Amino acid sequence: MSIAVEALFTTALGLQAPWVVAKVDLDTAKRRIDFEVSCDAGKLPCPACGVNGQGIHDRVKRSWRHLDFFQFEAWLHAEVPRVDCSACGKTTQAEVPWARPGSGFTLLFEALALSLCQTLPAAQAAAQLRVRSKRLWRRIAHYVGIARRRDAMTGVRAVGIDETSLKATSNNWLS
């Protein structure tokens, strides 16, 4: 593809320096589009302590599912820099601006998935997104956990439980 196409998708994905789309691979037979994203920075702030101007130790290949483009399944792939910090002595992977660490989904894809799960059963949402429902349940558990930690329960004096809700608390859906 031409430089103009990479620049167009860099803008469409909302990427900002030092991140750019380096290559776009469209496979019409598989109905899939893959974006190779690169970080052209030679030095980055340390993700652990925040000290600026730290060198890149190496890069680790990662992939994330993104929102569909033109009804094609979209994936972002990047060699994510690991920063070697001279201040704190740690070698830490840089965070990417489009996904939370360890997710495997972009933030936009997670937002769509969670929105669908508010109105559809997780299995139906997963089928619509073409992912396994287990992956959606993990995201739901992650964000529910965050919400529960933020919720102050100091005023609660009594909790009612019936036999139906008791069966639903077994956590088998996370296995």
Lowest mean pLDDT among 49-63, 125-139, 146-160: 146-160
pLDDT for 18 equals 94
3 & 89 share domain: yes
If one counts every other C-beta atom within 10 angstroms of the C-beta of residue 81, the result is 25
Q: Identify whether the C-beta of residue 81 lies closer than 8 Å to the C-beta of residue 74.
A: no
User: Pairing between strand 19-27 and 91-93?
Assistant: unpaired
Quick check: pTM over 0.75?
A: yes
Q: Tens digit of pLDDT for each residue in 43-59?
A: 999 999 999 999 999 99
21 & 91 share domain: yes
4 & 73 share domain: yes
Structural domain contains residue 32: yes
Q: Which domain holds residue 58?
A: 1-95
What average pLDDT score do residues 141-151 get?
Answer: 92
44 & 125 share domain: no
3 & 64 share domain: yes
What average pLDDT score do residues 145-169 get?
Answer: 80
State which of 2-11, 123-132, 165-174 shows the largest mean pLDDT: 123-132
Among 48, 75, 95, give the residue marking a domain's end: 95
88 & 118 share domain: no
139 & 121 share domain: yes
* Position 107 pLDDT exceeds 50: yes
87 & 121 share domain: no
E strands, 70-170, are: 72-84, 91-93
Structural domain contains residue 169: no
